[in-house]
Structure 1
Amino acid sequence: MLKTKKNAEGGTSLFRNTFIQTILMSNILLQTGIWIRNFAILMYVTDMTGDDPVAVGLMGFVEFLPIFIFSFIGGTFADRWRPRLTMIWCDILSSISVFAVLLTIIFGSWHMVYFVTFISAVLSQFSQPSIMKLFKQHVKPEQMQSAMAVFQSMSAIFMVVGPSLGVICYQRFGIEVSVGIMGVAFLLSALVLFRIPSDKKIEKAPAASVRQIWGELSAGVSYVWKSPVLKSLGGTFALAGIAVGTVQVLSIFVVTERLGQEKGFLQYMLMTNGVAMLIGGALVMTLAKKIPPQKMLAFGMLISSLTMAGVGLSTSVPLTLGLQFISGLGFPCIQIGINTMILQWTDEKFVGRVNGVLTPMFVGMMVIMTLVAGNLKKMYPLVGIYCAAGFAMLLGMLLLVPLFKYKFQQQPQPPQSKLETVPEG
């Protein structure tokens, strides 16, 4: 009884946390803008180019290339700057860039929709590491995995409603109104973030020279390289990036070619996936303290590898939707497992740089694959491409198996002393 009461109080205190309340409110606004952007711009580009796979692939390229380039820099500066103010300024600048692009669209330059994605991707590389640092500061270690599950569940909700929101917005109001809503959503998110408790008092860092920034970045690389958990996670990231980058660009062609449906049917696939993510997120919340994050991540990647291949092979709408549902059940395991591993095995002062080192492992491969996926589609069957992507995800999962023997130490210790090889069972 005492244990049950303690767990219930722990869950209640998590939602009473001002940071958790605020970051969820901000995420609702950001997700609204992001999903309208994703689908409105996708539909707009396909309409303007006649469903050109290279043009669709270019959307992914301009999104992920700046992530690959700026994540090193963003992670390093996130460790130097105050995370709360960094997030606020990133949302404000995103909003300004959206309204600037809206003006160019109104005056007839449709290609500038690529610019919205580019700027948003650059700014996210300064904002995302700051979110991780704030989680580290404002969430208790024993609540970390549950907090990540709650945060992921919000994304799952928008996987359900977001696609329809984007499609309806574009079809009813057009690209100009859709882009305008994006700008307002980003601006409101910035205002909401002022509710986050003030940043910790930190010693003012001296003006950073190129040599200093490079030294701090090198320290982050060294930190990851010396950690067996983080180093293996980097390899997993790279292989997952190859898989995700390939199928993300080509998913619309699964709808039109394998299933024989209209482009708009893609929203129903994502909605099915999102419903499952919501259910999976709830399940992960109940099991978060019982399953080590590396095992949770491996399980999620195994599910993803099998369903990727299955979606490529399927020509049946019910079967494809079923596979999307199963994939969605496993996805929270991937997201929550990754974030929890990074936060558990990284000292707070290195969180930004570790993100800056690991993210390019994933995004770099995504950049390459989004750039070439359109050309691969012209040379190879869609089935073969999806099966190859599933195999890459399976290899990434196998890299995690040696990490099953490691157990996280709750007490703060030197960076490389947080790992202890212990028998489990």
Structure 2
Amino acid sequence: MSTHVAATESNTNGQLLRNRFFQTVLLSNVLLQIGIWVRNFAILLYVTDKTGDDPIAVSLISVAEFAPIFVFSFIGGTFADRWRPKLTMIWCDILSAVSVFVVLLTIMFETWEAVYFATFVSAILSQFSQPSVMKLFKQHIPPAQLQSAMAIFQTLVAIFMVLGPSLGVIVYNNFDIHVSIAVMGVAFLLSALVLVRLPKDAPVEKVDAKERHLRREIAEGFRYVWRSPVLRTLCGVFALAGLAVGIMQTLGLFIVTERLGKPKEFLQFMLMINGIAMLIGGASVMLVAKKLSPQKMLAIGMLAGALCSVGIGYSTNVMLTLVLQFASGLFFPIIQVAISTMMLQWSEESIVGRVNGVLSPMFVGMMVVTMAAAGPIKTVLPLVTIYSIAGGLMFLGMLLLLPIFKYKAPEHASKQPSPSGMSVH
């Protein structure tokens, strides 16, 4: 029996990797990851060099990256449902490349502050491009293969979490900011060129102009999420996970210096362990994706995250902390894959963009809240207590999922028609 299941899973993954649409989006994402990681670290190192490690200047990079999510996520998701997704993605990559080359010109004239503009514009355009990707996944990936597709993408993200920082540092240290920015622009342009291979967009259904009211369409997205018990629960889980992750991301340095008694440089080893674990977890999640519902996968990931958070807070042993850090990274892809799968399975194709626009800011928004509050909280609470609170938030998120275990993907997911241009070869 197990041999038959393994053979079936292998055949499913083989079909997925031969899917022209999936091949194209995967290659495009590789190019985008190269551009993004070179951007993140080259700009970070450039700003620290220019400002003498000014913490305010460095923090503005994060502001430029995350602020657009609050402003443009709802709008981007709405327009992704209106526009043709293939053209939207291509134009977003082209405009990102143009903005990067504009920044390159300004830096050549010694206006270094323009590097913030590259991050800001790229972050805005991603709020239009990302929902379009989700919409195309809904169109071109059979429901039975969605979790496997999400797992492969999570593996790719994990690979770049391990390799990306080194790539950015190498490019910047061996060349300079001008070459680094040029690499970003070329990567975005190549991604746009690769996306031309995507199947032709389906005709957009024409709606009367009176009905195409932006605020009304955004409100429809909120109502759609609120009416679905699964999506409504997912919204709460997103918020709780964001609160917990924001605490752990911000205070990891103090775990190293205060709980482990190590120099701050030791943090890079913890992050490397976490990245390697995410790579393994992303590959392993494909093995369990067919055996468990996404709700149960998400609950397992949240429970593991809760236990690891409390354990890391209490631990003063280096080896134990590294093991817990590894375990946390191992289960994080399960959370990401399960959330993406649930979002796609419980959303109709016509509203995928708006659902993504409603849910995504919940995680990032709450994460930024606790990132901003973590410093002041640490002045009044010990690390053990703070990490226990983060673990409690993850555990509460797991409890929220228990009532929706009984739900199965709706009919619009299981009866999705086979799209054109999806031949397996």
- After TM superposition, give the deviation of residue 92 of structure 1 in Å: 1.2
**Which residue of the partner structure matches residue 394 of structure 2?**
393
**Distance across 1 between alignment mates of 2:58 and 2:391:** 21
- Going from structure 1 to structure 2, the CA distance change for 1:185 and 1:216 (only over 3 Å counts) comes to same
8 A contact 2:150–2:337 mirrored in 1: yes
Which is further off, 113-122 or 143-152?
A: 113-122
Correspondence for 1:147: 149
Indicate the RMSD between aligned Cα atoms, in angstroms.
2.8
Output the CA distance in 1 between the equivalents of 2:102 and 2:264. Answer: 29
- Write out aligned runs for 1:78-93 (5 A): 78-93=80-95
TM-score (norm 2): 0.87
- In the alignment, which residue of structure 1 is the partner of 2:422? none
Q: CA 1:52/1:162 → structure 2, altered by over 3 Å: closer, same or farther?
A: same
Deviations, residues 47-80 of structure 1 (Å, cap 9, x unaligned): 5555555554443333222101111101111110
Q: Distance in 2 between matches of 1:404 and 1:102?
A: 51
Structure 2 distance, partners of 1:292, 1:52, is 47
- Secondary structure at 1:202 match in 2: coil
**Residue equivalent to 2:240:** 239
Give the corresponding residue for 2:423. Answer: none
How big is the shift at 1:2? 6.8
Contact 2:82 2:204 in 1 (8 A): no
CA 1:173/1:381 → structure 2, altered by over 3 Å: closer, same or farther?
farther
Q: Cα–Cα, structure 1 residues 249 and 102, in superposed 2: closer, same or farther, change >3 Å?
A: farther
CA contact (8 A) 2:150 2:341 kept: yes
| 1:35 maps to 2:37 | yes
Conserved in 2, the CA contact under 8 Å of 1:31 and 1:158?
A: yes
Tell me which amino acid in the other structure corresponds to 1:322. V
1:84 alignment partner AA: K
Using a 3 Å threshold, how does the CA distance of structure 1 residues 5 and 245 change in structure 2: closer, same or farther?
closer
Encode CA deviations 1:129-181: one digit per residue, 9 max, x unaligned: 10111111111111111111111111111122112212223333343332332
Q: Assess, with a 3 A threshold, how the Cα gap between structure 1 residues 245 and 16 changes in structure 2: closer, same or farther.
A: same
On the 8 A contact 1:237/1:358 being kept in 2, the answer is yes
2:119 matched residue in structure 1: 117
- d(CA) in 2 for partners of 1:20, 1:222: 31
Code of the aligned partner of 2:307:
L
Residue 195 of structure 1 aligns to a residue in which SS? coil
Letter in 2 for 1:302: L
8 Å contact from structure 2 (residues 345, 413) kept in 1: no
Most deviating of 378-387 and 353-362: 378-387
Identify the residue that residue 290 of structure 1 maps to in structure 2.
291
Structure 2 letter corresponding to 1:61: V
Q: Deviations over 1:90-117 (max 9, x none)?
A: 1111122222223333433443333222
Distance of 2:8 and 2:369 partners within structure 1:
48
Distance 1:134 1:51 in 2: 42
**Superposition deviation, residue 254 in structure 1:** 4.8
Report the alpha carbon displacement of residue 344 of structure 1 after superposing the two structures with TM: 0.9
Q: Which residue of 1 aligns with 2:135?
A: 133
- Point out the more displaced range, 98-107 or 251-260: 251-260
Q: Compared with structure 1, are the counterparts of its residues 52 and 294 closer, same or farther at alpha carbon in structure 2 (3 Å cutoff)? A: farther
Aligned AA (2:37): W
2:78 match: 76
Moved more, 359-368 or 284-293: 359-368
- SS of the aligned residue for 2:298 comes to helix
Structure 2 match to 1:190: 192
The aligned counterpart of 1:164 is 166
How do 1:300-319 residues align onto structure 2 when only pairs under 5 Å count? 300-314=301-315, 316-319=317-320
Instruction: Give secondary structure in 2 for the equivalent of 1:407.
Output: coil
Please, which runs of 5 or more residues in structure 2 have no aligned partner? 416-425
More displaced, 183-192 or 102-111? 102-111
Amino acid at match of 1:394: F
- Aligned residue in 2 for 1:104: 106
Contact 1:61 1:367 in 2 (8 A): no
CA change 1:130–1:46 in 2 (3 A) is same
Of residues 179, 193, 211, the one that matches 1:177 is 179
- Structure 1 gaps, min length 5: 415-425
The answer as to whether partners of 1:161 and 1:271 remain within 8 angstroms in 2 is: no
Distance 1:314 1:104, change over 3 A: farther
8 A contact 1:58–1:370 mirrored in 2: no
Residue 257 of structure 1: CA displacement?
6.1
1:214 aligns to what SS in structure 2?
helix
Change (3 A) 1:372 1:106: farther
Asked if the contact 1:56–1:249 (Cα under 8 Å) also holds between the matched residues in 2, the reply is no
Q: For residue 418 of structure 1, what is the aligned residue in structure 2?
A: none
Give the corresponding residue for 1:366: 367
Contact 1:57 1:374 in 2 (8 A): no
8 Å contact 2:158–2:275 — kept in the other structure? yes
The match for 1:202 is 204
Moved more, 57-66 or 193-202: 57-66
Asked if the contact 1:238–1:365 (Cα under 8 Å) also holds between the matched residues in 2, the reply is yes
Change (3 A) 1:327 1:106: farther
The aligned counterpart of 1:421 is none
Give 2:96's match in structure 1, choosing from 89, 94, 119: 94
Counterpart of 2:336? 335
- Relative distance call for 1:46 and 1:378 in structure 2 (3 A) is farther
Partner SS state of residue 408, structure 2: strand
Structure 1 residues 15-67: Cα deviation after superposition (integer angstroms, max 9, x where no partner): 11011101110111111122222233334444555555555444333322210
Summarize the Cα distance change of 1:218–1:411 in structure 2 as closer, same or farther, 3 Å threshold.
closer
Supply the distance in 2 between the matched residues of 1:351 and 1:391 (Cα, whole angstroms): 31
Relative to the length of structure 1, the TM-score reads 0.87
Letter in structure 2 aligned against 1:19: F
State how far apart, in whole Å, the 2-side matches of 1:49 and 1:389 are. 33
For 1:369-380, list aligned pairs within 5 A.
Answer: 369-376=370-377
Q: Deviations over 1:370-417 (max 9, x none)?
A: 444455556655555444333322222222122122222456599xxx
Q: Is the 8 A contact 2:90 2:195 kept in 1?
A: yes
